[in-house]
A and B are shown apart, each in its own frame.
Chain A
């Protein structure tokens, strides 16, 4: 159930290969990769800087993955989240889940991502032509996480 917060980039193929290595029970791998867009809320974005709360962020991600494991019949999970200064096209986050069958992997992957966005302590700051600004939390992200509580 690895969780990593790091400045360096990640390789999706290598991460998935490591996650399912040596486990023939795995019949499905679902993954999500979030990337930096060059526009947000109508302004161009040249740099996206991510801050986190060392210690709590990792614990929070581990807790979210533990909840997914308790809820679905999945085999393993992986979360890699980058921090520091990123640019458009850069990868930000990777969530991957392995399971015997695809349904559980798909659902758990989406759950982890929805909870990460609303609970894990990360904050984004954008550099735009109008200056630097902190990204506001979105109600749509709260609604996405709320779905899983119904």
Chain B
């Protein structure tokens, strides 16, 4: 169960990673569970992905939410609210 995770904008700068490939941890099947698992990596991750922070998620390049399923081979992206235009 391998997934690609991408981070954008201020979130990418905060965690210092643009993209990575990880084996999905046991019991992690949703974008919200993955976010919670990433928070366990340390203070920087806990802060950047804190529940109180507005962090958007997309799975396979489609906007999702904490309940969106993450399957083997998925591309999961976390990013701050968008500011284009």
> Which residue numbers of A lie inside 8 Å of B, CB to CB?
34, 50-53, 55-56, 59-60, 81, 92-93, 113, 116-125, 134-137
B9 engages A134 (CB within 8 Å): yes
- Are B8 and A116 interface neighbours, CB within 8 A? no
Closest A-chain residue to B12, C-beta based?
A51
The answer to whether B77 touches A125 (Cβ under 8 A) is: no
Total interface residues on B, CB under 8 Å, equals: 17
Q: How many Å from the CB of B13 to the closest CB on chain A?
A: 8
User: Which residues from A are CB-within-8-Å of B61?
Assistant: 53, 55-56, 59
Q: List 5 contacting pairs A-B, 8 Å CB cutoff, sorted by A.
A: A53-B58, A56-B62, A119-B63, A120-B85, A124-B84
Contact of A56 among B10, B54, B58, B83 (CB under 8 A): B58
Beyond A123-B9, A123-B10, whether A53 also contacts B85 by CB under 8 A is: no
